Amino acid sequence: MKDKKHLSVSAIENGTVIDHIPAQNLFKVITILGLDKIPNQITFGTNLESKLLGKKAIVKIADKYFERDEINRIAIVAPHAKLNIIKNYEVAEKMLVEVPDQISGIVKCVNPKCITNAEDVTPKFKVVDKENVSLKCHYCEKITDQEHMQYL
Amino acid sequence: MKNKSLVSINDLSKEEIYSILDLAEEFEKSPNPKLMEGKVVATLFYEPSTRTRLSFESAVNRLGGRVIGFSEASTSSVSKGESLKDTILTVANYSDLIVMRHPIEGSARYASEVSPVPIINAGDGANQHPTQTLLDLYSIRKTQGKLDNLKIVMVGDLKYGRTVHSLLMAMSRFGASFTFISPDELKMPKEYKMYLDELGLKYEEHSELAPNIKDADIVYMTRVQRERFSDPMEYEKVKNAYILRNHMLEGTKENMKVLHPLPRVNEINTDVDTSPKAYYFTQALNGVYTRMAIMALILGLK
Ligand SMILES: [Zn+2]
């Protein structure tokens, strides 16, 4: 089993491995971190077995280390994600993501009558529930929950 | 409060609320202080709300200030597609304070972030209308002598009613207890009931009006709007359940007052108007003193 996993997603020499991403949110993680716009070598695997999540995804980004607040952005779609910082094929450090208190510019406000959906205004939210991730709009004060989340 | 915008009732501390009400009381006693001489207030009404606009304009005039503005977006530069930000930045050059009514929710918060002069939110869609809540608080304190530990009965559209939601949030800070009377389809949303639960405040829910106002200090009526109902038959069933009539006031408390944000349609029968418990027209008058107080404090004139 362990060997098969190694075959499906190859090892990297230096960089970051993001593990325990819910399979259905893999592409959201890619978008949120802007991985679709960087030149680094990226490999990913999805629908891998996971005791915790049922099906999980994993992303390996060569030669890239993230800032703390950058990585916390993915907490809203992958609250259980684990990061392995790889140096010289070895795990040099492990990190967990933390759902931030506030987020800005990642998620759309669910309210179609909100100013952020009417004019060129960056949506900002207060995270009111970190467990299930629900967000209160700084402008219209409506709640956007995980189920209705759309990404910018 | 000096130079601060007023976007939501929740932005105000209890002390700030009291200072607004105290100053409103002072203005009620001498309603024409020339404190705002040389000041210009812009009233930007992107959707019509004649009452609110007139109340603000009356307040500015009583303070000796001047008013500029528009009352319909379709006749202004807005119809040419100018962004809210550009309008605010432009109008801020012409005024010391901007009063804005806008159909888009969150527009007032946004305007307050881009504006170099203070913004007073005169209603942003279904979101906030803090000056209405402050005049309600003023009316409640004036008629009850206090804000603490009162029994508030809210009647009508409790689901979409912005005024009842804000009043609930405000009065819950003073330890009120509540009775909600509404048709099933227009019940108070769960989030507000959860909020009261968290604070340990009592509330009851009923669908009948007359038997449930006996121990009320305040009966806050709102309109049940036909367009809120998916089924017109449902509306027909409930519309008459919420007409307050004079005979229903028998046996209610001596100090009880009937409030309504106005305009009313038929939810308060005109035979209530002569009752000493009818307070909705005076409530509207109180709006002028309250708005005078808010503007004077924001402009640092008091
Ligand atoms: Zn919003």
Give the pLDDT of residue A50: 85
In a domain, A4, yes or no: no
- The H-assigned helical ranges of B30-104 are 50-62, 84-91
Same domain, A25 and A70: yes
Tens of pLDDT, residues B101-124: 999 999 999 999 999 999 999 999
**Token pair 């009043």 is at which residue?**
B167
Tens of pLDDT, residues B196-211: 999 999 999 999 999 9
Find chain B residues with C-beta within 8 A of A115's C-beta. 84, 104-107, 109-110
Cα–ligand 1 centroid distance for A11 (angstroms): 42
Separation between Cα atoms, residue B177 and residue B216, nearest integer Å: 10
Give the pLDDT of residue B187: 94
Q: What is the CATH number of the domain that holds A79?
A: 3.30.70.140
Give the pLDDT of residue B79: 63
Give the pLDDT of residue B82: 87
CB-nearest to A121 from B110, B124, B127 is B110
Q: Which amino acid is at A86?
A: I
Tens of pLDDT, residues B244-295: 999 999 999 999 999 999 999 889 999 999 999 999 999 999 999 999 999 9
Among A96, A115, A140, residue at a domain's last position: A96
Provide the pLDDT confidence category of residue B174 given band limits of 50, 70 and 90: very high
Determine contact: B107 vs chain A, CB below 8 A: yes
Give the pLDDT of residue B142: 98
Q: What is the CATH number of the domain that holds A137?
A: 2.30.30.20
Mean pLDDT of the region B122-145: 96
Give the pLDDT of residue A1: 45
Mean pLDDT of the region B131-151: 98
- For residue B22, which of B298, B299, B294, B220 has the smallest C-alpha distance? B294
Same domain, A75 and A109: no
Separation between Cα atoms, residue B98 and residue B291, nearest integer Å: 13
**Which residues are within 5 Å of ligand 1 (an ion), measured at CB?**
A 109, 111, 114, 137, 139-140
Same domain, A78 and A137: no
Same domain, A26 and A76: yes
Domain that holds residue A53: 15-96
In a domain, A62, yes or no: yes
Same domain, A89 and A113: no
- For residue A42, which of A64, A26, A60 has the smallest C-alpha distance? A60
Select which of B101, B141, B165, B302 is catalytic. Answer: B101
ipTM: 0.89
Residue B126 and residue A116: Cβ atoms within 8 Å?
A: no
In a domain, A22, yes or no: yes
- Residue B192: both structure tokens together: 């507000």
Contacts of A59 (CB under 8 A, 6+ apart): A17, A18, A21, A26, A29, A30, A35, A42, A43, A44
In a domain, A9, yes or no: no
In a domain, A40, yes or no: yes
In a domain, A8, yes or no: no
Domain count along chain A: 2
In a domain, A5, yes or no: no
Same domain, A23 and A75: yes
- Whether the CB-CB separation of B259 and B139 falls below 8 Å is answered with yes
- What chain B holds in terms of domains, given with CATH numbers, is 9-128+287-298 (3.40.50.1370), 130-284 (3.40.50.1370)
Same domain, A19 and A60: yes
Cα–ligand 1 centroid distance for A111 (angstroms): 6
Select which of B62, B102, B129, B257 is catalytic. Answer: B129
In a domain, A124, yes or no: yes
Separation between Cα atoms, residue B54 and residue A147, nearest integer Å: 43
Quick check: helix, strand or coil at residue B198?
helix
* C-alpha R_g of chain B: 19
Weakest-pLDDT range from B29-43, B157-171, B224-238: B224-238
Separation between Cα atoms, residue B201 and residue B265, nearest integer Å: 32
Give the pLDDT of residue B78: 64
The overall pTM is greater than 0.90: no
Provide the pLDDT confidence category of residue B77 given band limits of 50, 70 and 90: low
Give the pLDDT of residue B232: 85
- B52 as an active site residue: the answer is yes
Same domain, A121 and A50: no
Same domain, A87 and A124: no
How confident is the prediction along chain A (152 residues), in pLDDT tens digits per residue?
Answer: 444 444 445 688 999 999 999 999 999 899 889 999 999 999 999 999 988 778 999 999 999 999 887 888 888 889 889 999 999 999 999 999 988 899 988 899 999 999 999 999 999 999 999 888 899 999 999 999 988 888 87
Same domain, A118 and A83: no
